Amino acid sequence: MSVFTTTVLSIGSEAELFKKEKMVILFGKDAPDVLADYCYNIEIHPVKEEIKVNQTLIIGEQKYRITAVGSVVLTNLDTLGHITIKFDGSTVPELAGTLYVEDKAVPKISVGTTIIIQ
C-alpha cells in the first residue's frame, strides 16, 4: 500500500545541480521564489501514514530502501510538499527535513515522473 504518491509538475532551472551532492529537493507548487529554481515541484497530497525506515521510495522505475527519516519529513511533505532526499545510505537523520535512502545513483527525474513511498 502506498504511504505517499505524487507527480513531478515542473523542474527548477538549477535542480540538477544537487545531483552531484546526491540530493534531490522536492517542493510543492508554492515554493518560495528563492528556492523554486533548485526544486522539483510536486503535487501536494496527504501522507497516509508514518514514513519509516525500510520502506521503499520509488522514483519512476528506480527503487530505494529508506535508511533514515528526519523528524519533520512527514509534516513538511504533507503540508508543503517539501523534503530533501539524500542518496547516501545514512542511518542517522542529521537534518530534520531530509529523507535518507540507500547509496545508489540519483535517478533521472522528468516532468510527469511519479514518486511513491510504500
CATH of the domain at 27: 2.40.33.40
> CA-CA distances (angstroms) from residue 80 to 1, 4, 87?
22, 13, 21
Question: pLDDT class for 33, splitting at 50, 70, 90?
Answer: confident
Mean predicted confidence (pLDDT) in 31-45: 94
Total structural domains within the chain: 1
Report residue 65 as a C-alpha cell: 530502501
pLDDT at position 72 = 98
Quote the CA–CA distance of 89 and 94 in Å, as a whole number: 12
Question: What is the percentage of the chain residues whose pLDDT exceeds 70?
Answer: 100
Handedness of CA 100, 47, 77, 22 (dihedral sign): positive
Contact 59, 88 (CB under 8 A): no
- Tens of pLDDT, residue by residue over 44-100, are 999 999 999 999 999 999 999 999 999 999 999 999 999 999 999 999 999 999 999
Contacts of 110 (CB under 8 A, 6+ apart): 8, 11, 60
Do 83 and 77 touch, CB atoms closer than 8 A? yes
Domain that holds residue 60: 4-117
- Is the pLDDT confidence value at 30 over 90? no
Residue 63 CA to chain centroid, in angstroms?
Answer: 13
- This prediction's pTM: 0.95
Distance CA 32, CA 46 (A): 20
By DSSP bridging, strand 4-11 and strand 114-117 are antiparallel
Binned at pLDDT 50, 70 and 90, residue 29 comes out as: confident
State the pLDDT at residue 69.
99
